[in-house]
Amino acid sequence: MASIFKEPSRTFNEYLLVPGYSSKECKVENVSLKTPVVKHKVGEKSEITMKIPLVSAVMQAVSDDTMAVALAREGGISFIFGSQPIESEVDMVKKVKSHKAGFVRSDSNLRPDNTLKDVLALKAKTGHSTVAVTEDGTSKGKIVGIVASRDYRVSRMNEDTKISEFMTPLDKLIYGKDGITLSEANNLLWDHKLNQLPIIDENMRLTHFVFRKDYDSHKDNPNELLDDHKRYMVGAGVNTRDYEERIPALVEAGADVLVIDSSEGFSEWQAQTIKWVREKYGDTVKIGAGNVIDAEGFNYLAEAGADFVKIGIGGGSICITREQKGIGRGQATAVLDVAKARDEYMEKTGFYVPICSDGGIVYDYHLTLALAMGADFIMLGRYFARFDESPTNKLNINGNYVKEYWGEGSNRARNWQRYDLGGDPKMKFEEGVDSYVPYAGELHDNVNISLGKVKSTMCNCGSLNIKELQKHSKLTIVSATSIVEGGAHDVILKETSSSIVR
């Protein structure tokens, strides 16, 4: 007969942290959220370490190049979705890697024979007021000038006026040469009172812009996650079908870490994919695997050579795998079980294989619980889908702003590879839904608030880093009535300004 786990499958909502002794050093500003991403020997540093324990999900509705840049600025990693043609995923990775900190590729480019009307249309499309004027109208063309807001007045000019008549020509531009450091570029900006500085190579081709406004942005993001070349770090999703073509292309594009994107990862297909990577690249290419929900699944993928292991089946807000197939496990129980296996594997082998909790996060405090239970970092879909930087449309539904959000197992995504068990290349049924999530604004503000709560809770538990939190945390299971007690109760709530119709 089937074996049955003795303990019930539990969610994060069924646990609370019990505070511990806090010393005078336990201040939010002293808390570090640095965390390892890939496998490393005990006592050695992981080759990839994030500044914050958050990664964005491998989903069409979440992780594109815009999200990747925004999250890297905060210290985390986005995994570009793999349910797209290889060429387009590669292009997204390249766009992220072209963003050296402070150096921006131009996405607003026109020819000198374009008109003011074209400038205004491009500005409306991109939101950017600086337009590079190149011979061929591309970002890599030979630069002939720049158009900024100060170069024209719509009320006094005909929209058919050619750009060549009002642009600032190259011979009147202050520019930096390719190879200039960010510090040197910023000095030129300030010395010459410029708003933007074009960076030009030896062939007079535009390579980047450095903007004055980004100087403050760079200072405001001390956790930026950069590679050795000062480029933002980015991950990418792969599958077990076309990995022999997709992985080399992503590696060449500069992807820093890969992950096999699958709803259930305890399979020979994943071991086969990892084996191919190790035979071709050795340990130079970092690749995570999953998803699993017990010790047996973790050990299988760790032995196969995974650089990290992802945990979670059916816990995502748009995932209906449990409903459709009857497989899965409460996320809290899964994380606790796999974390124990991770530590036992470390003791046995001397290698630490980080684990990523994927799914089951509803409230911000669930982030802290996942870390306390043993997760090294947390993958989020719904959380990031709400922000300006996600690739979906912002809509007004019944007076409320929302963003579209759909699962990779939905018919909209058509990501049959993620649920493939070696059969026909088509979906038989859906394991995800198509939905909306409340719009929440900019990623930067929201992430700072969420992680502020995490740090504050860690201080309550007497912990200044994630390892201390995992070592010293005390967890208690909560009853249904204590959950009610934990919220506002037995009072008449006042109306808030947001609920008053004026």
Name the residues annotated as catalytic.
319, 418
Distance CA 232, CA 75 (A): 9
At residue 38, the 3 state secondary structure works out as: coil
Distance CA 460, CA 473 (A): 10
User: Which residue, 289, 283, 292, is CA-closest to 313?
Assistant: 292
Distance CA 296, CA 337 (A): 10
Q: How many CB atoms lie within 10 A of CB 2?
A: 3
Q: Which amino acid is at 277?
A: V
User: Which residue, 154, 144, 150, is CA-closest to 112?
Assistant: 144
User: Which residue, 208, 137, 188, is CA-closest to 167?
Assistant: 137
**Are the C-beta atoms of 131 and 119 separated by less than 8 Å?**
yes
Distance CA 344, CA 352 (A): 10
User: Could you give phi then psi for residue 445, rounded to 5 degrees?
Assistant: -65, -45
Length of the chain: 502
User: Which residue, 182, 208, 213, 171, is CA-closest to 195?
Assistant: 213
Distance CA 118, CA 365 (A): 48
The burial of 42, by beta-carbon neighbours within 10 Å (0-12 exposed, 13-18 middle, 19 or more buried), is given as exposed
At residue 197, the 3 state secondary structure works out as: strand
Distance CA 51, CA 61 (A): 24
What's the distance, CA 488 to chain centroid?
33
- Whether the link from the prior residue into 291 is cis, omega within 30° of 0, is yes
Distance CA 234, CA 193 (A): 34
User: Which residue, 343, 278, 339, 325, is CA-closest to 306?
Assistant: 278
**Are the C-beta atoms of 431 and 319 separated by less than 8 Å?**
yes
**Percent helix, strand, coil in the chain (nearest 5)?**
35, 20, 45
**Are the C-beta atoms of 195 and 212 separated by less than 8 Å?**
yes
Alpha carbon separation from 67 to 51, 59, 62, 408, 433 (Å, rounded): 17, 11, 7, 17, 22
User: Which residue, 254, 258, 260, 284, is CA-closest to 93?
Assistant: 254
Q: Which two tokens stand for residue 44?
A: 């050695």
Q: Residue 317, CB half-sphere, CA atoms under 13 Å: how many?
A: 19
